[in-house]
Amino acid sequence: MKDLTFDSLDTLIKQTDDLYLEICGLQTPSMYFTESPSTYSIESKSTNSIDSKSTYSMESPPKYYEELSPPNSPKFSFTDKYAKLGRATALQSKLLGQSKKALRFCRNNLSVIGGEQEREAIRVSLLTKLKLEAIRKEIYRDVTDVNHGATTIKNLMFSVVGRKGTYLSLNKTFYLCIFSCEDQVFGTQWTEVTSSNFMVFQEHISFESIESNFEIILSVYSLTVPRTNKQLKPIVNLISKPKLQMEGQIVLTTANFQKIGKYEMKIINRDSDLDGKFTMDFKGRLSIQEHLANYVNYGIRIGKDEFGGRFWCVLGKQGLQFFDQSSEQKLFLCFQNIVGTIKQNVVINSIAWESIDGVDRVSNVLQFNNEDIMKHWMMRLNSLLLLYRQYYC
């Protein structure tokens, strides 16, 4: 994202006008972007089986399959997506018009310069501009991730170094955090630096239904306005235009989920009073929507005891579900209990891994009907395991 620095309200008003006209001039694309999962047909030839006594049919899923399996990956209609974003553009355009009127009023009335009304008008205008930019980018972004993520950010606190320059006695500085991901943009309220040189934001920021491999851009802006003390009235006319500029920025991903919660952003403004270090609570939730379902031979070994059978295996939201031919769920394996990675096994067309069941260490083997299915499952399960651990481990 390019540096956004506005030295005056006139620049901000002009940029929001130009951006709105650019987005409204877009045409609806006459194409669709669709993605559906790869499908595999199970061959009827016999293979080595963990449980050779199993005699279940392999020609069709068990009874009530629709209730056992997650739906196929959704089809993404580019036209529907544009229509949704078009409605969002219309809403933002109304806010844009209102905020522009408020900005012009504040610019032409010295009585409100530096006050709460002016700061709120600037905040709404900046958020509207960034939301319109996000909508423009989202219109042309390909949706490739069928799995969804959600995040919550709270208890955001920045450390501030010593103030610089003597002119600050005539001005007051406020700070604002803006979070953007895909077409979602959220902002905090303006806040000041505390007497202990910390900047604290009380808001809880939540993103819902974003791609699981998301990128959240956190930007910090500062707004310098003249003080409204009566003693400073003669000076107000000399510095009547507030100064809005970006202080720093960081891109947050699943790799930033940390228990300690210490982070450091890149400082863009070389005269910034921020040192880039901050803390926050950053947590996420993963919703697996990917479609995987197949007949498998599943065997486990706990110590000297071995068990095995043939099941209909379905990828669930938190792990693997195993059903017998009567559609009754027999086993469930949570991703959280899997240790290490899933590897190809010596048994033909099978994969193996270890898991934890209470205090017991369990050896698992999953056998498929052909090599193509086996390789696809191994690749997807390892990818989902990595993603799951980034969210929860």
| Residue 290 near residue 315, CB atoms below 8 Å | yes
The fold for domain 65-71+292-392 equals: PH-domain like (2.30.29)
Whole-number pLDDT of residue 20:
45
What residue segments make up the domains of the chain, in order of their start? 5-27+75-287, 65-71+292-392
Whole-number pLDDT of residue 351:
94
- φ/ψ region of 340 (left if φ > 0, alpha if ψ in -120 to 50, else beta) reads left
What is the DSSP secondary structure assignment for residue 181, as one 8-state letter?
E
Q: Which residue, 180, 173, 176, 199, is CA-closest to 188?
A: 176
Hey, what are 130's tokens? 């960034």
| Residue 175 near residue 192, CB atoms below 8 Å | yes
- pTM over 0.85, yes/no: no
What is the tens place of the pLDDT at every residue in 83-118? 677 777 777 777 777 777 777 777 777 666 667 888
Hey, what are 90's tokens? 């219309």
Query: What percent of the chain has a predicted confidence (pLDDT) above 90?
Result: 26
Whole-number pLDDT of residue 163:
58
Whole-number pLDDT of residue 110:
65
Query: Does the domain formed by 5-27+75-287 have CATH 2.60.40.1120?
Result: no
| Residue 210 near residue 184, CB atoms below 8 Å | yes
What is the tens place of the pLDDT at every residue in 340-387? 899 999 889 999 999 988 888 899 999 999 999 999 999 999 999 988
Distance CA 302, CA 363 (A): 7
Whole-number pLDDT of residue 29:
29
| Same fold across 5-27+75-287 and 65-71+292-392 | no
Distance CA 197, CA 210 (A): 34
Please give, one letter per residue, the 3-state secondary structure of 262-291: EEECEECCCCCCEEEEEEEEEEEEEECCCC
Distances (CA, A) of 97 to 43, 108, 136, 177, 246: 63, 17, 18, 23, 23
Distances (CA, A) of 20 to 2, 93, 115, 217, 219: 18, 7, 27, 22, 22
Those residues with Cβ within 8 angstroms of residue 4's Cβ, 6 or more apart along the chain or in another chain? 246
Which regions in the chain score pLDDT beneath 70? 1-83, 110-114, 162-169, 228-240, 258-260, 393
Whole-number pLDDT of residue 113:
67
Whole-number pLDDT of residue 234:
42
Whole-number pLDDT of residue 180:
95
Give the distance between the most distant pair of CA atoms in the chain.
95
Looking up tokens 């009073």, which residue turns up?
273
| Residue 292 near residue 380, CB atoms below 8 Å | yes
Q: Which residue, 203, 222, 217, 218, is CA-closest to 160?
A: 222
